[in-house]
Amino acid sequence: MKTGIVEETDVEYHGGEGVSKSTLWKLETKSPFHARYVKQEHKPQFSFGHAAHIAILEPERLESSVIRGPIDRRGNKWIDAQNYADSIGAIVLVEKDYDNCMLIRDLADGISELAVLRGGNHITETSAYVIDEETGLLKKTRPDFFSIDHRIMLDVKNMADVSPRGWERDTGKFGYHMQDPFYRDTWTEATGYEVDAFFFVCFEKCEPPMVELYEIIPSAVEEGRARYRRALNTYAECMETGIWPGYSDGGIRKSGLRWQDYVVTPAPNKDEREAELEEELEDNEDGNDE
């Protein structure tokens, strides 16, 4: 079993053992059944995100790691560019994406906090594993960047909207408030490095692209920690029992309509709806007793 800092590829990390934040968030937002079968997919559109990671965290590697390809992905020109990039272990982007990636690099260079962190001793894209004392589960994390000198962790996010409103919406939707404490706790337990702060470097793929730096407030971090602890306990219980429930514990589920879907007849109010559901439940229980 892996423990401590582990040098491995991104594919090896996502395909290997251990419970990650993604798995726990899937359990919290979907079900234990979904968490059991969660898989990390690689899709071509992730190439821009990977290139942007390099532009933000390791800008000195950008020009040797990313190639400016044709205007689009059609025809032999793209095939030839892709084959060449594969032969040298580089990423090929269409012209527009390459130019935006270079602009993202320049925008990131203008963030003084990033310049300080990148200039000191740091670790990038390295896995860490540790056994959780409470549940006995193997936890794992793979932060984008950790500053040894300043004890600060960075994670890069590709967002449709990097405005404060967009950030808060995505934090709740994708569980960034859970990622913050899970990464901090797991990294510290696995490596011995304390994490004093966690910053999210967010870039917006638009015209022109934007780059913003966010830090989650303590109250939201504590909510995230409570969520991941609850999810870990549930996951451990499922491992022990071998039972991975979906959205319900089985049987027939009763449901109605959203209020806006009642077009011809009046929609029931909350009390009427609950009464209908309770009545249906009682009828099912009576039927099972016969």
Which whole number is the average pLDDT over 19-42?
A: 87
When comparing pLDDT for 155 and 281, which is higher? 155
User: Rg for the chain (alpha carbons), in Å?
Assistant: 23
Contact indicator for 177, 24 with CB cutoff of 8 Å: no
Cα separation, 165 vs 214, whole angstroms = 12
Order of strands, edge to edge, in the sheet holding 138-141? 4-6, 127-131, 138-141
Q: What is the pLDDT of residue 14?
A: 87
Q: What is the pLDDT of residue 4?
A: 92
DSSP state of 110: T
For residue 268 the two structure tokens come to 């029931």
Q: What is the pLDDT of residue 248?
A: 73
Task: Report which secondary-structure segment, H or E, holds 271.
Answer: helix 270-289
Q: What is the pLDDT of residue 286?
A: 47
* CA–CA–CA angle 180, 62, 74 (5° rounding): 100
Please provide the distance, in angstroms rounded to a whole number, between the alpha carbons at the two ends of the chain: 52
pLDDT tens digits, one per residue of 33-52: 999 987 765 555 578 888 99
Which whole number is the average pLDDT over 59-64?
A: 89
Q: Does domain 4-42+110-241 have CATH number 3.90.79.10?
A: no
pLDDT tens digits, one per residue of 69-123: 999 888 899 999 989 999 999 999 999 999 999 999 999 998 989 989 999 999 9
Mean of all residue pLDDT scores within the chain: 89
Who's near 198: CB < 8 A, 6+ residues apart?
A: 152, 153, 154, 155, 180, 183, 184, 215, 216
Which whole number is the average pLDDT over 124-143?
A: 96
Question: What one-character-per-residue DSSP string does 41-57 give?
Answer: ---TTHHHHHHHHHHHH
pLDDT band for position 277 (cuts 50, 70, 90) = confident
Q: What percent of the chain has pLDDT over 90?
A: 67
Lowest mean pLDDT among 34-48, 160-174, 248-262: 34-48
Q: What is the pLDDT of residue 288?
A: 47
The beta-strand segments (E) located in the chain are 4-6, 66-68, 91-93, 122-124, 127-131, 138-141, 145-147, 152-159, 197-204, 210-214
Q: What is the pLDDT of residue 290?
A: 45
Q: What is the pTM of this model?
A: 0.84
Is residue 287 packed enough to be buried (19+ CB in 10 Å), middle (13-18) or exposed (0-12)?
exposed
pLDDT tens digits, one per residue of 176-232: 999 999 999 999 999 999 999 999 999 987 778 889 999 999 999 999 999 999 999
